[in-house]
Amino acid sequence: MSHSGIFKPKFPEKYKGDPTNIIYRSLWEQKLMIYLDHHKDVLKWSSEEIIIPYRSPWDNRMHRYFPDFWCRKVNKHGVQEEVIIEVKPWSQLFPPDGRKKYTPKGRKSRRFIREAKTYAINMAKFEAAKSYCESKDMKFIVMTEKDLQPWKSLKKSGTIQING
């Protein structure tokens, strides 16, 4: 079941864009929105407001990628920095298990094909985002449920700490 809705920020002046039209598509995105809205070191943030073109390896055509979040924050050294954040399930950061490529009847598994497509497209989006960020002196990070579950440690840190 999908967890989605409209987010109402407590500090709309921090949102870059229309603060009445902020949509979350997962519980993880909602958690990160609460964090970005409330944290003192986050100066500005937005959700799906940036467009990054990328070439899909699946159809070899250009598409538009809307990263989940952008934020301007003060890092632990007191320096402002801009970060693009993508929220993805941990399982989508790795290629699918090749041992599950075929069904017991010898046909290609639909699940394997779907997972391979998702992985390939995600990697293309991430590469495009890394290039975009490098050209604008920004950081690109991917957060998963593993980063968002220990929510108390994120709040205690004083800055957004992400491995990845």
Tell the residue number behind the tokens 């290609």, with chain if given.
108
Annotated domain spans of the chain? 5-157
Q: Supply the CATH classification number for the domain 5-157.
A: 3.40.1350
Q: Does the structure show a pLDDT above 90 at 5? A: yes
Question: CA triplet 18, 20, 23: central angle to 5 degrees?
Answer: 90
Residue 134 confidence (pLDDT) above 50 = yes
Q: Determine the distance from the C-alpha atom of residue 77 to the mean position of all C-alpha atoms in its chain, rounded to a whole number.
A: 24
| Predicted TM-score (pTM) of this structure | 0.84
> pLDDT at position 150, please?
54
pLDDT, tens only, 21-68? 999 999 999 999 999 999 999 999 999 999 999 999 999 999 999 999
pLDDT over 70 at 160, yes or no: no
How far lies 160's CA from each of 6, 22, 30, 35, in Å?
23, 20, 15, 9
Q: Which of 14-18, 100-104, 113-117 has the lowest mean pLDDT?
A: 100-104
Closest of 100, 70, 97, 96 to residue 84, by C-alpha: 70
